[in-house]
Structure 1
């Protein structure tokens, strides 16, 4: 025990000789200011989940607002819906996205277009809307790619249009 007492006494005297009271007060002040900024750190503070957008129009029609960047057969006409695959198919884990304006609230939403895979093409409600499409410079940014390559079966059936969230406004 004497060893520990001597060790801490020597270290405390050494620190006291090299650092003054002002340095101690400066360090305490910095710690207090730093601790007071912790509540300002970016943390998800949503008390309730985001509300889905209000819908209007026919999800089985190509001019439905969610389909602004779709290219393929609509799952709505193939036994599924705009956000779910028909029975017997699997949703591809890789997608392309688009930003569409909802006419009900006038806001822009990020839409994830997921292909449903595992059955032959639906051949009903073909829709190709390429609003805002740019020339192909990277294949992973295109809706013309068979996105079923990430699924167990690479056979394309239809496409869904799932709202991911609100898009940032262009200011």
Structure 2
């Protein structure tokens, strides 16, 4: 096996004496560029541009028992409208959470942005109907006031979660 080691040692020394590290990097770079030019172009997604074009053509959902209803843009939980309550009031036997998270949702009917307060209704076991998980403009967990993955019933006497309401608390300014 000594002949094998001697052969590669002599070849390596010859290459090291006749070239520099910079020229080796240039050669490797040329090899990569040449290979990339010979490869076919990878496919890419053109849907992104079409999705924005289709936004204006979206059908406006006015059903407050559907997850696609505009007020539910940052909601994560069960809809109180399917559990015996309304869009802004808890079902009988439950109480509204003392803490809340907020989201800003655009009403497609009038084009205005609304500040929505999402309150959990607490005190009775989970409703289990009309579960929604929409996370538009959700923030990471360290910004608790705009994070929807927390049991907000923790401040109430009973921390049992039932459903979530979406009450409008403000209208955005139309300053452009």
* TM superposition score normalised by structure 1: 0.64
1:133 to 110, 121, 138: 138
**1:90 counterpart residue number:** 95
Task: Give the Cα–Cα distance (whole angstroms) in 1 for the partners of residues 110 and 143 of structure 2.
Answer: 33
Alignment of 1:104 onto 2:109:
yes
> Which consecutive residues of structure 2, in runs of 5 or more, have no partner in the other structure?
1-59
User: 1:60 deviation in Å?
Assistant: 0.3
**1:144 counterpart residue number:** 149
Contact 1:56 1:104 in 2 (8 A): no
User: 1:142 deviation in Å?
Assistant: 1.2
Alignment of 1:114 onto 2:125:
no
Segment drifting more, 129-138 vs 66-75:
129-138
Task: Give the Cα–Cα distance (whole angstroms) in 1 for the partners of residues 70 and 145 of structure 2.
Answer: 23
- SS of 2:139's equivalent in the other structure is coil
> Which consecutive residues of structure 1, in runs of 5 or more, have no partner in the other structure?
1-54
Relative to structure 1, is the Cα distance of residues 56 and 165 closer, same or farther in structure 2, using a 3 angstrom cutoff? farther
User: 1:138 deviation in Å?
Assistant: 3.1
Task: Give the Cα–Cα distance (whole angstroms) in 2 for the partners of residues 154 and 134 of structure 1.
Answer: 23
* TM superposition score normalised by structure 2: 0.62
**2:165 counterpart residue number:** 160
